[in-house]
Amino acid sequence: MAHSLKFEFDGNLCFGQKEMVQTSERVKCVDLHPSKPWILAALYSGNVCIWNYHSQKIEKSFKVTESPVRSAKFLVRENWIVVGADDGHIHVYDYDTMEMIKDIEAHTDYIRSLIIHPTLPYMLSSSDDKLIKLWDWEKDWICSKVFEGHQHYVMQAAFDPNDLNTFASASLDGTIKIWNMDSGSLDFTLDAHSKGINCIEYFMADDKPFLISGSDDYTAKVWDYETKCCVRKLEGHTHNVTAASVHPQLPIIITCSEDGTVRVWDKTSYRLDNTLAYGLERVWTVAYMKDSSKVVFGCDKGTIVVKISGSNGSDSADV
């Protein structure tokens, strides 16, 4: 096991013990299963792997396509894995039997991200064909809506947790767009960054809704969702920001970059608390579970699991 890296937060949080490093081909997306000790990793090689972070062994590994896989998610309600790849297809597998459930010719260009609706049988796919598509798996994966309006690749989408009929999308055209899922209409557009936007996420602070975006202009920005104004620019990365995310319970913002670092910011003051470099080259993705102390990063050279704990070594959340 690798040595520990830790730093102190206000509130006596440490970040954290390096629990597992799994070397592999480039990891473009990671997801954590909510009840099993599994990390799902989408690899640029076209493979998908499930790693067990308790046993620190590969649980399952298989080839999806000859094209890079940029997104893979657990669809826990059905015991499925959904995979989006550069071949434009969405691949659906039963994660117990590894049987293919469905192969959908979804887009005419690379699929950048997949997101699962929290309550309804819906999934959104974002693509380099500039489209976002809504899929209904209870109706044999019919494409029920297409959202068109971005002028460049659509990199990611995120559902609004306060209004699950609304979602945001981020594009290399430098804009964030807010959409109504039922009507298919565009609610508004933010001219957000001077270069392409790679990631978007909703979060709450002081009972107010915010968005955070990460861009090829090397910054992340925090947006007041109600006023549509940028309230803070997070600067310091020296290359593209690939992921920007707010921990669901702890008062931290995490940004990842092609500069090979992870930066951790105070959610309230936006102060930079620390910069971590794991030596796995570019960092592409971050994932964590609510009610968990595990944080997972996907990088050029593999996957790393880090544990957040109290300064006395106790867990800050149940695993």
**Structure token pair of residue 239:** 């290359």
Specify the pLDDT at position 309.
55
Q: What per-residue string of b and e applies to 204-221 under the rule 16 or more CB within 10 Å gives b?
A: eeeeebbbbbbbbbbbbb
Q: What is the DSSP string of 47-72?
A: EEEEEETTTTEEEEEEE--SSPEEEE
Distance of CA 67 to the CA centre of its chain: 20
Count of structural domains, the chain: 1
If one counts every other C-beta atom within 10 angstroms of the C-beta of residue 258, the result is 19
Q: Has residue 4 been placed in a domain?
A: no
pLDDT one-digit tens code per residue, 243-255: 999 998 889 999 9
Q: Is the pLDDT of residue 10 over 60?
A: no
Is 226 part of any domain? Answer: yes
Using one digit for the tens of pLDDT, what is the confidence trace for 201-240?
A: 999 998 999 999 999 999 999 999 999 999 999 999 999 9
Q: Identify whether 34 is part of a domain.
A: no
Q: pLDDT-derived band of residue 5, with 50, 70 and 90 as boundaries?
A: very low
Q: How many CB atoms lie within 10 A of CB 191?
A: 9
Average pLDDT over residues 274-302: 90
Q: How many helices (H) and strands (E) does the chain have?
A: 0, 28
Q: What is the DSSP letter of 8?
A: B
Residue 68 maps to a domain = no
H helices of 65-150, in order, are none
Residue 241 maps to which CATH number? 2.130.10.10
Q: Is residue 27 part of a domain?
A: no
Among 257, 291, 294, 287, which residue's Cα sits nearest to residue 272?
257
Please report whether residue 138 resides in a domain.
yes
pTM for the model stands at: 0.91
**Positions of E strands within 65-149:** 69-75, 80-85, 89-94, 100-105, 111-116, 122-127, 131-136, 142-148
Task: Tell me if residue 229 falls in helix, strand or coil.
Answer: strand
Which residues, 6 or more positions from 2, have their beta carbon under 8 angstroms from its beta carbon?
A: 18, 21
Classify residue 249: in a domain, yes or no: yes
One-letter amino acid for residue 53 of the chain: Y
- Largest Cα separation within the chain, whole Å, is 52
Structural domain for 171, as ranges: 75-287
Could you tell me if 105 and 135 are in contact, meaning their C-beta atoms sit under 8 angstroms apart? no
Residue 193 belongs to some domain of the structure: yes
| Mean pLDDT along residues 143-167 | 97
